[in-house]
Amino acid sequence: MNIPFLLFVALILLFLQGMIVVKWGLSKIEYSRKFSQSVAFEGEMIEMIDEIANRKLLPVPWLRLESKIDENLVFDQIEGTNRGDMHLTLFSLMPFQKIKRRQKVTCAKRGYYGFETVSISTGDSVGFGETFQTSSSSTNLTVYPKIIDMDEIPLPSQSWLGDIITKRWIIEDPFVMSGIREYTTGDPMHTVNWKATARTGSLQVSKKDFTADHHLMIYLNFDQTEDKWLPIINEEILERGLSYAASIAHHTLSQGIPTGFGCNSYLVTSEDKKKSVKLYPATGKVQLNVLLEHMGKAAMANSSSFYEFLEEEVENRLEQTDILLITSAVTEKMQDQINLLERRGNKIEVLWLEDYTPEKRR
């Protein structure tokens, strides 16, 4: 048997195996993707988990997963390959083999990250042929704003925010019960509600009501120009504002103060881009999670002008509420609505996002 004949046979075999892999390589391939957690804080490292299985006798020499992933989700380059905003992962699958691969991801920026599909491609071992298909990989991740220390937030020196907390604990009425809550460090043992503890399986304490309750609304102004239809100019400033809002809400809710949040933006998951984000004050961990969820999903765009947002609160007859307004400036139209809110007994304080100048003073 001469060498040319052997080469000819080898080429035929390679061609046939290429045709087989191209035709059946992606058949009975099962794929799924998920994150180790569905929510995270900015700067936190989590894991993306790819799970792929070959449910047939035919081996797959190589298989490539390619998907579009936002560059603000930063992958460990040792485990994956990034090409712009495209993320690639390579596998080699034996018959009936299942592989689960974990890749470390750093959440570099607040936001909502949705994933719907991934492109799967394979081919023969020598490159004679290649085929691909699109597979569903529906999963999502919400990254919350970064929580910073209260000392890092430039609250005015005469801020009433600290006074709210102090007054609230001074005027607690020990005779008025308003439910139960989970035990936290520092709660006196005589406040433990043993019936509720037995029912829930975790330590619960009786929650006192207050004779003069404070309700805090945190407003964030997304306006950066007079024209609400123009795109956001400086996203970094608004990201800082969201971080301030999340940190303050985290602090006040931990102190038992009913806290809400609103801004003239909309949720990226909402079909109605004219519906502003607005959550009225409540207490508890559920409220904190809801606030952080909305802050994480807030679009970097306007739903309305901020004075229109405040005007809506006036029309809703918002009263007797402490309002912290986080903004870069206060326009005349905004000031008119602020005055109307103050006449209804609301107390308003401004937290400036940029340098404090005389032109911004109310």
For the chain, list the strands marked E by DSSP: 29-35, 39-41, 45-54, 60-68, 73-75, 81-83, 86-93, 98-107, 111-123, 130-144, 172-182, 204-210, 216-220, 259-263, 277-282, 322-327, 347-352
For the ranges 18-22, 72-76, 87-91, 335-339, the maximum mean pLDDT occurs at 335-339
Return the CATH number at 298: 3.40.50
Tens-place pLDDT, residues 187-199 = 666 677 877 777 7
The pLDDT, as a whole number, for residue 210 is: 43
Residues 188 and 275 in one domain: no
Q: Is residue 21 part of a domain?
A: no
The answer, yes or no, to whether residue 356 has pLDDT greater than 60, is no
Residues 191 and 253 in one domain: no
The pLDDT, as a whole number, for residue 173 is: 43
Residues 246 and 329 in one domain: yes
Return the CATH number at 62: 2.60.40.10
At 106, the pLDDT band (50, 70, 90 cuts) reads very high
Domain span at 82? 27-144
> Contact at 8 Å (CB) between 211 and 168?
no
Beta-bridge partner residues of 65 = 89, 120
Residues 246 and 267 in one domain: yes
Residues 240 and 336 in one domain: yes
At 357, the pLDDT band (50, 70, 90 cuts) reads very low
The answer, yes or no, to whether residue 362 has pLDDT greater than 50, is no
Tens-place pLDDT, residues 290-327 = 999 999 999 999 999 999 999 999 998 888 899 999 99
Q: Which tops the pLDDT comparison, 266 or 125?
A: 266
Tens-place pLDDT, residues 165-218 = 555 443 344 444 556 777 665 566 667 787 777 777 788 777 654 434 678 999
Residues 228 and 341 in one domain: yes
Q: Is residue 5 part of a domain?
A: no
Beta strand 45-54 with 172-182 is unpaired
The answer, yes or no, to whether residue 241 has pLDDT greater than 60, is yes
Q: What is the count of structural domains for the chain? A: 3
Compute CA distances 287 → 41, 246, 298, whole Å.
17, 12, 16
- Of 159, 187, 210, the position where a domain reaches its end is 210
The pLDDT, as a whole number, for residue 190 is: 65
